[in-house]
A and B are shown apart, each in its own frame.
Chain A
Amino acid sequence: DGGITQSPKYLFRKEGQNVTLSCEQNLNHDAMYWYRQDPGQGLRLIYYSQIVNDFQKGDIAEGYSVSREKKESFPLTVTSAQKNPTAFYLCASSIGIAGAVGTGELFFGEGSRLTVL
């Protein structure tokens, strides 16, 4: 079945450690995104990528890094520089082509819940 797979589902990290969250899709989508969700807030965009080997910062990129070496993979590293990393992280993809309007539906992975101890 086509979809997006995120791993791990739950992750505990000590302060000062970097962690990498995996996101893989087999939908052949060009665009991929990382969002963060905190209680009482809407999803906030961390990074996005419209095409392989290219990505852009979203609204809250500080303390995060990404790579897009393959179309199907878009891992997110939460670095020790991220001041408040405990959150629910959601990876998504869409057909979305840069500059296109209304290319529509976002498909989400099941999310990764990161807790910093």
Chain B
Amino acid sequence: RKEVEQDPGPFNVPEGATVAFNCTYSNSASQSFFWYRQDCRKEPKLLMSVYSSGNEDGRFTAQLNRASQYISLLIRDSKLSDSATYLCVVNRPNTGNQFYFGTGTSLTVIP
């Protein structure tokens, strides 16, 4: 089983739609969770950290479910500029600051 698993998509949604991505992780000892955004042929950039209580940043909401070992990202009112690949990133326990990376979920927002 992969350490982090994501549905690769692609997700093609119309502008204004709400879309949700899930990510599952295998190591129950992981404690830090992130969503990164990667544009085509560019470097990943932090979108948001995921906190135990869930957190929101504008149109983006991240949730963590420790019992089921998954994190989610909800995007409301999708914009064309949201088109990108979204990477789920989870820390590797007992390794200092190393991480597992998901393969990414591709989102295209259509006019």
Contacts and interface: CB of A to CB of B under 8 A. Distances in A.
Interface of A: 31, 33, 35, 40-45, 48, 50, 58, 88, 90, 94-106, 108-111, 113
Nearest to A110: B43
B4 A108 contact: no
A95 B96 CA distance: 11
Contacts of B28: none
Given A101-B31, A105-B46, A110-B43, A42 B97 contact: no
A57 B74 CA distance: 35
B27 interface: no
Contacts of A40: 8, 103
Contacts of A98: 96-97
- SS class of chain A's interface: helix, strand, loop or mixed? loop
Contact of A104 (B4, B8, B32, B102): B32
A97 B4 CA distance: 23
A109 B96 contact: no
Interface residues of B, number: 26
A31 B43 contact: no
A110 B44 CA distance: 9
Interchain residue pairs A-B with the least CB separation, the first 4: A96-B97, A42-B101, A108-B43, A102-B32
B46 A50 contact: no
B42 interface: yes
Contacts of A111: 42-43
Interface in B51-88: 87
B46 A42 contact: no
A9 to B, nearest CB: 10
B98 A99 contact: no
Contact of A102 (B4, B8, B91): B91
